[in-house]
Structure 1
Amino acid sequence: MAPSYIRRYQDQDWKAVRDIFSKGLLGNVPSDFWPLLKKPRSSLILLGVPIVLVLGSGSLLLSLLSFFVIFTGQLLTFRKFVLQYIEHALQTDLLDIQKSYLSARGSNLWVAESEHQVVGIVAARPAERPKRGGKYLELLRLSVKREHRGQGLARTLVQTVLQFASDHGYDGVILETSNSNHPAQRLYESLGFHKSHESWYYLNWWTAALAIWHYQCDFSSQS
Structure 2
Amino acid sequence: MAPYSIRKYQDQDKEAVMDMFIKGTLSHIPSGFFRLLKQPRSFLLLLSVPGALFLGSGSLFLSLLVLPGLLVFLWLLTRYPFNWYVDNALRTDMKDIRKSYLSNRGSCFWVAELEGHVVGMVCACPAQQASRGQKCLEMLHLSVRTEYRGLGIAKSLTQTLLQFAQDQGYDAVVLTTLCYNYPAQRIYEQLGFWKAREAFDSLKWRVIGIPFFYYKYSVPSSL
Which residue number corresponds to residue 27 of structure 2?
27
Query: How many angstroms apart in 1 are the aligned matches of 2:71 and 2:21?
Result: 27
Contact 1:125 1:138 in 2 (8 A): yes
**1:134, 1:187 → 2: CA distance?**
24
* In structure 2, C-alpha distance between the alignment counterparts of 1:132 and 1:23, rounded to whole Å: 36
Query: Which residue number corresponds to residue 210 of structure 2?
Result: 210
Instruction: Report the CA distance between 1:217 and its aligned residue.
Output: 1.0
SS at 2:214 equivalent: strand
Instruction: Judge conservation of contact 1:108–1:124 (CA < 8 Å) in 2.
Output: yes
1:45-194 counterparts in 2 under 5 A? Answer: 45-194=45-194
Q: Secondary structure at the match of 1:76?
A: helix
Q: Per the alignment, in what secondary structure is the counterpart of residue 204 of structure 2?
A: coil
* Whole-angstrom CA distance in 1 between matches of 2:135 and 2:81: 31
* Residue pair 2:109, 2:123 contacting (<8 A) in 1 also: yes
- Which string of whole-angstrom CA distances, capped at 9 and with x for unpartnered residues, describes residues 8-61 of structure 1? 011111111111100111122111221122223223212332233334444332
Percent of aligned pairs with the same amino acid: 51
TM-score w.r.t. length of structure 1: 0.91
CA distance in 2, matches of 1:164, 1:52: 59
TM-superposed CA distance for 1:192, in Å, is 1.0
Q: Secondary structure at the match of 1:203?
A: helix
- Tell me what 2:38 maps to: 38
Check the 8 A contact 2:166/2:220 in 1, yes or no. no
Report if the CA contact (8 A) 1:39-1:208 is conserved.
no
Of 18-27 and 46-55, deviating more is 46-55
Give the match's secondary structure for 1:25.
helix
Is contact 1:77–1:203 with CA below 8 Å preserved after alignment?
Answer: no
1:87–1:204 Cα change, 3 Å:
closer
Of the structure 1 ranges 138-147 and 78-87, higher mean CA displacement relative to structure 2 is found in 78-87
Are the equivalent residues in 1 in contact too, given 2:78–2:208 (CA < 8 A)?
Answer: no
CA separation in 1, counterparts of 2:36 and 2:7?
Answer: 37
Deviations 1:149-172, CA, capped at 9 Å, x for gaps? 111101111111111111111111
Judge conservation of contact 1:78–1:203 (CA < 8 Å) in 2. no
How far is 1:133 from its partner? 2.5
Q: Is the 8 A contact 1:123 1:142 kept in 2?
A: yes
Give, in whole Å, the separation in 1 of the partners of 2:117 and 2:141: 18
SS at 1:210 equivalent: coil
Deviates more, 1:50-59 or 1:40-49: 50-59
Tell me how large the CA RMSD over aligned residues is: 1.9
Distance 1:195 1:204 in 2: 19
What secondary structure does 2:122 align onto? strand
Do 2:165 and 2:219's aligned partners in 1 also have CA atoms closer than 8 Å?
A: no
TM-score, length basis structure 2: 0.91
For 1:32 and 1:177, the matched residues in 2 are separated by 13
Q: Structure 2: 5+ residue runs without aligned partners? A: none
**Distance verdict in 2 for CA 1:37–1:91, change over 3 Å:** same
**Aligned residue type for 1:213:** F
